[in-house]
Amino acid sequence: MAISTTDPIIKIQGLNKAYGRNKIFQNLDLIINYGEICALIGINGSGKTTLLKILSTLIKPDSGSLSISGFTASKEGEDIRKLIGLVTHNHLLYNQLTGYENLKFVGKLYGVHYIDEKIKELSSLLKLDKVLDKRIGYLSHGLQKRISIARALIHNPSLLLLDEPESNLD
C-alpha cells in the first residue's frame, strides 16, 4: 500500500479503553494530518500513555477503530510499527551495549541502508558525538534520552510518538 500524505496520518473513531471498571477514555475521536504536531496534556492517569501505547500497537483498544497512514491497526499492526518512531519514559536501550551499538542494532532491525551515515547524522543533530562509544548504563539519563530519540529516528519514521519527552532531557 502506498502512503498518501493527503489522508490523515492518525485517524481514531469511537475508541474505548478501560482497565476493569476504570474507563480510560470513551468514544475518542481524533484526526491528525501529516505535518501537524499534537500534544496530549492531562493529569496523571488521564490516558495519555495508554493512547500512545494504542497508537504504537503495543496494546489494543476495547473497541473503536484506529488507522495510521491508512493502515488499520487491528489488521496491519506490523505495517504501522514500521512507520512509527517511539520514545518512551523508559529508554528501551540495552545498557550493556554502547550508544553506537544500540543504534546500529535497531537500524539493522529496520533494514536501514547506509546506517553508519545515518548514525553520524543523528549524532551530529543530537550532539552525541562524544558519547556513542560509551555503554548506555554509564551515561546520564539525559544522554540516554537523547540516544533514545536517535533510536526512534533511525529509520526515518512517518510518525514520531514521544511519551514525556521533556523528562530527563538535558
Q: Tell me how crowded residue 21 is: count the other CB atoms within 10 A of its CB.
A: 5
pLDDT in tens, 83-103: 999 999 888 999 999 999 999
Look at phi and psi of residue 156 and say left if phi exceeds 0, alpha if psi is from -120 to 50, else beta. Answer: left
Position 86 scores a pLDDT of 95
Q: How many residues does the chain have?
A: 170
More confident site: 45 or 26? 26
Position 134 scores a pLDDT of 98
Position 133 scores a pLDDT of 98
Q: Alpha-carbon distance 122 to 6, whole Å?
A: 28
pLDDT in tens, 54-64: 999 999 999 99
Per CATH, which fold does 10-87 belong to?
Rossmann fold (3.40.50)
CA atoms 80, 12, 56, 115: torsion sign = positive
- How does 72-84 read in b/e, with b if 16+ C-beta sit within 10 Å? ebeebbebbbebb
- Residue 146's contacts (CB-CB under 8 Å, 6 or more residues apart) are 126, 127, 128, 169
Q: Residue 6 — φ and ψ, nearest 5°?
A: -85, -20
Of the candidates 23, 140, 32, the residue with the CA atom closest to the CA atom of residue 91: 140
Domain ranges, ordered by start, for the chain: 10-87, 99-162
Tell me the three state secondary structure of residue 55. helix
Would the pLDDT of 3 be above 70?
no
Position 89 scores a pLDDT of 86
Position 24 scores a pLDDT of 94
